[in-house]
Homo-oligomer: A and B are copies of this chain.
Amino acid sequence: MIQPLINPKELPFQLYEVLDTEALLARERFSEHSKDTFDAILNTADKIATEKFANHNAKADSQEPTYDGQNVHMIEEVKHAFDAYSAAGFMAGRYDFDEGGMQLPESIMMACSGFFMAANPSTAGYPFLTVAAANVIRNFASPTLVEQFMPRMLSGEFTGTMALTEPHAGSSLADIRTQATPADDGSYRLKGSKLYISGGEHQLSENIVHLVLAKIQGAPAGVKGISLFVVPKYRLDEQGNPKTKNDVALAGLIHKLGYRGTTSTALTFGENDDCYGYLVGEPHQGLRYMFLMMNEARIGVGFGAAMIGYSGYQYSLAYAKERTQGRLPPHNSPTDAATEIINHGDVKRMLLAQKSYVEGAISLCLYAARLVDDINTLNAEDEKRSTEELLDLLTPVVKAWPSEFGVKANDLAIQVLGGAGYTREYPVEQCWRDNRLNPIHEGTNGIQALDLLTRKLWQANGAGLRTLQHRMQQDFSKADGEFCLPLVTALSPYLNELQGLIPKLAKGLHSEDQPTLLANAQCFMNIFSSIVISWIWIRQANVAEAALQHCEQADKHYYLGKIQAAKYYIHWELPLIQRDISLLNELDDSCSGMQADWF
């Protein structure tokens, strides 16, 4: 089955109809662009993703990278894809024209990344990690470091990594032990071990620029003593070319469930006391710098999860339209022709659930990207600040919800294919394995739930939540059509429940009930994210219902599908949070009351 990576209607719908991305053209930063240039870059992404990435998604999975003790080897298609990506200028897509960038909005760049994630998430990992690392250097490093490393990362000559996790310290970065000792030349010598470093070794680039969290000798304990360093695989000569091998060693490749094309490495720094590192910004500020990137990375994780989910959805949809099995009344006779399985009610359910998850997730992530654009280009300081507050609040949801429901979507895609879905002859099982990473990395979903409940909800005295509620009400007030009005009515009691919970939580978190509330943090994530996704679906349905009045006959089905998916989400998925509302209201202690010895 040959099919487009993404339904050609989907991204234009999200970008131009739901988000009004064209409005960005009025902002000074994007004034040299037009809808045509946006479309052109989207088409380029589609073409490169289709031709250079999708072609080896399965192959990179079945022939994963190997290490012979000297070098890491991988199939050559990865390098071709990486080079095509950087040659097309995507690495610098977000940057200023005078930096050699394309000065494109985040909304458009994220939409472009969707093609690569749908085509081949593990090959896409190499350029994406490089862009993320280059961003940190650009924002926080000294002009010298910026000059040395950034241009070569944006050209694809150098690649980048983020080296945070250590064998004993994953979620708890406070406990990292990698040491940095000041040297006479102003640089540092690093010593320590890092684990699960994606892209930590390969032959795709002339150099690998590791961004390493470490503690300068004598630094305060915990997160307040963490600094960030640039640690290149090869140190640069005076011309800025990679020359001397730095003391960074590959201890081994980690073999993963999925995402197999992206090397995951155990790295040793300073085994021979000769590992040079260059401090980024100020000492002890490393976690703050890293978290600015981490917040972007979390949106990227959510969107990647959405796109892998989407990929499986599209495949299972195409399969269900072709595969025949069984019969529907009145054609019950064994001599009647079998029907396409998409006509069976339970298959419709599994496809519609997938659609509601993945298109809901895509829409949410692009909404977040638009907030980034607004933060970057709005002039009014107060608007900018309230947009930042909103994005802060939504970030844990943008990371956790698509990653949880992307995997669920892929699970349903397997089920739609039945026995075929369980074989490696079909692509959906790989989607499921690849996507399973997303609830784990860049802060597990458990960490996201805690972050939301204990921090993001209360930031700036709850200003983010107020902005969100205001924006929701604006969208709900538009929902006056026959399809959308009942959806808002159905959502309304849950909004009231959420409203009623907030003061209880505020109080409970500062009382003896705290451990119980923390054990039930996932309940709040369920409530909050399900309401957010309902709103995101009502936004889509609003646009679709309006479009039905004037669209061409051929487009009606697409819009009706959007409305039906919104209805499905609000009728089938949203009501599940009644459970979570009760558990929080009742301060249920089933989990917090369980003792380790009782298991």
Interface residues of A (CB under 8 A from B): 165, 168-172, 174-175, 195-196, 221-223, 254-258, 264, 317, 321, 324-327, 329, 333-335, 338, 340, 342-352, 355, 407, 411, 414-415, 418-419, 421-425, 429, 432-433, 436-437, 439-441, 444-446, 449-450, 514-516, 518-522, 557-558, 560-561, 564, 567-568, 571-572, 575-576, 578-579, 582-583, 588, 590-599
Contact = CB atoms under 8 A, between A and B. Distances in A.
A317 B425 contact: no
B423 A444 contact: no
Contact of A598 (B418, B429, B564, B578): B564
A599 B333 CA distance: 28
Contacts of A590: 352, 564, 567-568, 571-572
Given A422-B256, A440-B422, A596 B321 contact: yes
**Which of A335, A352, A596: most chain B Cβ within 10 A?**
A596
Nearest to A62: B255
A346 B590 CA distance: 12
Given A345-B591, A349-B520, A418-B440, 12 more contacts: A170-B418, A175-B325, A196-B419, A221-B333, A256-B423, A345-B515, A346-B449, A346-B519, A348-B592, A352-B599, A576-B576, A578-B579
Contacts of A264: 423
A569 to B, nearest CB: 9
A583 B571 contact: yes
A536 to B, nearest CB: 17
A433 B591 CA distance: 27
Contacts of A355: 599
9 contacts: A170-B325, A175-B338, A257-B422, A329-B514, A349-B519, A557-B595, A558-B598, A560-B598, A572-B579
Contact of A594 (B324, B325, B564, B576): B564
Main secondary structure of the interface of A (DSSP, over half): helix
A599 B349 contact: no
B519 A348 contact: yes
Nearest to A314: B599
Nearest to A221: B334
A154 B254 CA distance: 43
Contacts of A223: 334
A300 to B, nearest CB: 18
A514 B330 CA distance: 12
Contact of A257 (B196, B333, B346, B423): B423
B592 A345 contact: yes
Contacts of A579: 572, 575-576, 578
Nearest to A341: B171
A329 B433 CA distance: 36
A440 B425 contact: no
A407 B593 CA distance: 25
A95 B264 CA distance: 52
B436 A419 contact: no
B575 A424 contact: no
B325 A171 contact: yes
B598 A571 contact: no
- With most chain B CB atoms within 10 A of its CB, the pick from A411, A516, A575, A579 is A579
B254 A425 contact: yes
A349 B522 contact: yes
Contact of A326 (B171, B334, B347, B521): B171
A125 to B, nearest CB: 14
A312 to B, nearest CB: 13
A519 B172 contact: no
A557 B597 CA distance: 6
A422 B256 CA distance: 6
6 smallest A-B Cβ distances: which pairs? A345-B519, A222-B334, A561-B598, A221-B334, A349-B591, A257-B429
Nearest to A326: B172
A490 to B, nearest CB: 11
Contacts of A340: 596
Most buried by B among A321, A415, A561, A594: A594
Contacts of A572: 579, 583, 588, 590-591
Nearest to A260: B424
A594 B352 contact: yes
B345 A595 contact: no
Contact of A578 (B334, B343, B575): B575
A371 B411 CA distance: 33
Contacts of A594: 348, 351-352, 561, 564, 568
A568 B596 contact: no
A425 B567 CA distance: 43
A588 to B, nearest CB: 5
A446 B596 CA distance: 37
B415 A445 contact: yes
A392 B351 CA distance: 30
B352 A255 contact: no
A163 to B, nearest CB: 13
Contacts of A571: 583, 588, 590
Nearest to A426: B257
Contacts of A257: 414, 422-424, 429, 432-433
A572 B588 CA distance: 9
Contacts of A576: 576, 579
Contacts of A593: 564
Given A171-B325, A592-B345, A423 B599 contact: no
A590 B169 CA distance: 46
A346 B560 contact: no
Contacts of A317: 599
